[in-house]
Amino acid sequence: MSYEQEAREQAERLRQAGHATILAIESSCDETAAAVIRDGREIISSVISTQIPLHAMYGGVVPEIASRKHVESVDLVVDEALKKANMTLCDVDAVAVTYGPGLVGALLIGVSAAKALAYAADKPLIPVNHIEGHVSANYLAHTDLVPPFVCLVASGGHSHIVRVEDYGVYTLLGQTMDDAAGEAFDKAARVLGLPYPGGPLLDKLSREGNPHALKLPHVQTPGRYDYSFSGLKTALINTVHKLRQKGEDVPAADIAASFQHAAVELLSDKAVLAATETGAQVMALAGGVASNSGLRNAMNDKCQKAGIRLVMPPPILCTDNAAMIGSAAFYRLMRGEVAGLDLNACPSARLV
C-alpha cells in the first residue's frame, strides 16, 4: 500500500476513535518549535528555540538567516520534544506542521521536516494554518472552551477579529487596514531605541510612564470592526522626531505608555464591540500582542462590564509555539483534513 493510502486509512481510524497524539512543528518566522499534544487539549511537551538574539542586531527578522537557523534547529527541537514526552516517533499518531502564512523559506524547513518524519514513520501529515494555531492556543489553556466565540488575533503580521463558528469554521468580522498591531508596537519601540522585537519591551517600559502624557489621534476606520495603526504609529514617530530636533528630552516611558494606552483602547474597544454586537458570550485573545499586559487588563475590564467571559492563553502560548499547532491539528484530523507528500508552504495562506 502506498504511503498516502496507508496514512489516509490511519487518519480515518483516528477520526473514528476521536483520539490522537500529535507531534507538531512550527517554523513560520523566528521560532523553531516542536510539541507533543494529546487530543488537542493536553500539552505533553513543548519546546521553543528562539532566534530573536540573532535577528535583534538587524532590527528585524532577516528571512535568509531565519531559514538557515531553522535548518540547524528543527531536528533538535523535534528530538527534545519527543524526549520530554518520553516517546519515540513511533508513539505519536500523526505529524502536524504550519504550512502558512509566514516566511516562505522558514515555512519550507518545517514542512520538509514534517513530510520526512511522516513518511519515515508512516503517519498522517496534517497541514495547519498559523493563525488557526494562534486561535487554538485557547483550547490548550481553557480545556472547557468550545466554539462559538469571538477571537481577537493580534500578532506581528495579523490583526483580525474573527467569529469562531465551529472548529475550523471562521467568519471574519474585522481586520487591519494597514499595519498589524505587533508591527506597530515594534515600530513605535524602535523609534524609542528599543531592540527588536520591541513590543514586549515597550510593554515593560510603559508601566513606568503616564499613559495620558501624549495626545495621540483617535483613529477612524471605514469598517466598524476594522483597525488602522499607521496613523498612531506616524503620530508617535513625528512626536519623537520633533522633540529630538528641538533638542528636548524624549520622555521614553511616557511616550511608550501613551502609545500602549492608545493601541490597547483601539484593540479592546473594537473587539468587545464586535463580541457584543454579534451576541457572543465568550471572547478569546490570541497572538503575540495578546501577551501585552495593558491589553489583558483592558479586555478583562471591558468584558466584565459587557457580561462576556474572557479567555486568553498564558503569554508563552500567545507568542509563536508548536503546542498551538498541535491543538489546531487535532481538530483538522477530526475533520479528515490530511495532506499528501505534495504539501507546499503557502506564505500568504488565509484563515478565511
| Alpha-carbon span 102 to 284, nearest angstrom | 22
Q: Which of left, alpha, beta for 92 (phi over 0: left; psi -120 to 50: alpha)?
A: beta
Instruction: State in angstroms the smallest separation of the CB of 134 from Zn ion.
Output: 6
| Alpha-carbon span 203 to 259, nearest angstrom | 10
User: What is the contact mask toward ligand KG4 in residues 179 to 208, using x (rule: CB under 6 A)?
Assistant: ---x--xx----------x-xx--x-----
* Strand intervals (E) in the chain: 21-26, 31-38, 42-50, 94-100, 125-129, 149-154, 159-166, 169-175, 282-286, 309-311
Q: Which stretch binds ligand KG4 (CB under 6 A): 40-48, 64-72, 247-255, 288-296?
A: 288-296
Please list every residue from 130 through 159 that binds ligand KG4, using CB under 6 A. Answer: 155-157
Residue 100 binds what, of ligand KG4, Zn ion, none (CB under 5 to 8 Å, by partner type)? none
Q: Which of left, alpha, beta for 148 (phi over 0: left; psi -120 to 50: alpha)?
A: beta
Task: Tell me how far CA of residue 347 lies from CA of 102, 104, 129, 257, 272, in angstroms.
Answer: 5, 5, 10, 34, 30
By beta-carbon proximity to ligand KG4, the closer residue of 21 and 159 is 159
By beta-carbon proximity to ligand KG4, the closer residue of 93 and 183 is 183
Q: Which stretch binds ligand KG4 (CB under 6 A): 221-229, 247-255, 283-291, 331-339?
A: 283-291
3-class SS of residue 54: helix
Please list every residue from 220 through 239 that binds ligand KG4, using CB under 6 A. Answer: none
User: Which DSSP helix (H) or strand (E) runs through 332?
Assistant: helix 323-334
Instruction: State in angstroms the smallest separation of the CB of 130 from ligand KG4.
Output: 6
| Alpha-carbon span 66 to 109, nearest angstrom | 10
Residue listed under C-alpha cell 511608550: 256
Q: Which stretch binds ligand KG4 (CB under 6 A): 168-176, 207-215, 285-293, 337-345?
A: 285-293
Q: What is the DSSP letter of 350?
A: -
Residue 110 binds what, of Zn ion, ligand KG4, none (CB under 5 to 8 Å, by partner type)? none
Residue 254 binds what, of ligand KG4, Zn ion, none (CB under 5 to 8 Å, by partner type)? none
Residue 157 binds what, of ligand KG4, Zn ion, none (CB under 5 to 8 Å, by partner type)? ligand KG4
**288: contact with ligand KG4 by CB under 6 A:** yes
Residues forming the site for ligand KG4 (CB under 6 A) = 29, 155-157, 182, 185-186, 197, 199-200, 203, 287-289, 291-292, 319-320
